[in-house]
Amino acid sequence: MSEGKTTGGVLYIAEEGSIAMMKVQGNGVRNLAEGFDKWIDHLVASTNVGCVIVDLAQCTYMDSTFMGMLVKLARLLMKRCKLLIANAQPLHHELLDGIGVMKGWEYVDQPVSSESWSELCDAISGKLNARLVVEVHQQLIDWDKRNTKFIPFVNLALAELNDEKKDADDEEDDD
């Protein structure tokens, strides 16, 4: 699993009654985290949603940030919603099972259709939020001890955040 530069995919979301659905098309990677996070916030605030389905039928790859977002979603909703991963391919099973993401989720293999799929625009145009990347990787580490391998990544991202803050502070001092 690489944390390098991978082309992003597209997230499609829909709600029908008490079911919230997300379809991943292409790569589920960290540039989608901001839009995914906004959807999670929406679901947490919603009182109608009782089932969340993430359809991976068209997902070609996923990175640890995307899997961390699945963990965040599970942590916040697994006590009140049924959580389903639909149409996971063998590679998805290997990745998700390999780092313990599937706690709280169930696999299903059936078509997921919705007449109201809508593009999650923020996921396509949103810039990478380093704070969110750190947060979801920390959740991966906390979720399952097999994920301590992400500690160096978290430390590197925290160092980058500190450098960005220092640069911003230096710019303010120049004014």
Half-sphere exposure of 113 (CA within 13 A, CB side): 2
Main-chain phi, psi angles of 74, to 5 degrees: -65, -45
- When pLDDT is cut at 50, 70 and 90, the band that residue 160 belongs to is confident
- When pLDDT is cut at 50, 70 and 90, the band that residue 172 belongs to is low
10-128 topology per CATH: Transcription Regulator spoIIAA (3.30.750)
Average pLDDT over residues 137-146: 87
Pair type for strands 106-108 and 82-86 = parallel
pLDDT exceeds cutoff 90 at 110: no
Helix, strand, coil percentages in the chain from 3-state DSSP, rounded to 5: 50, 20, 25
**pLDDT tens, 25-63?**
999 988 888 889 999 999 999 999 999 999 999 999 999
DSSP 126: P
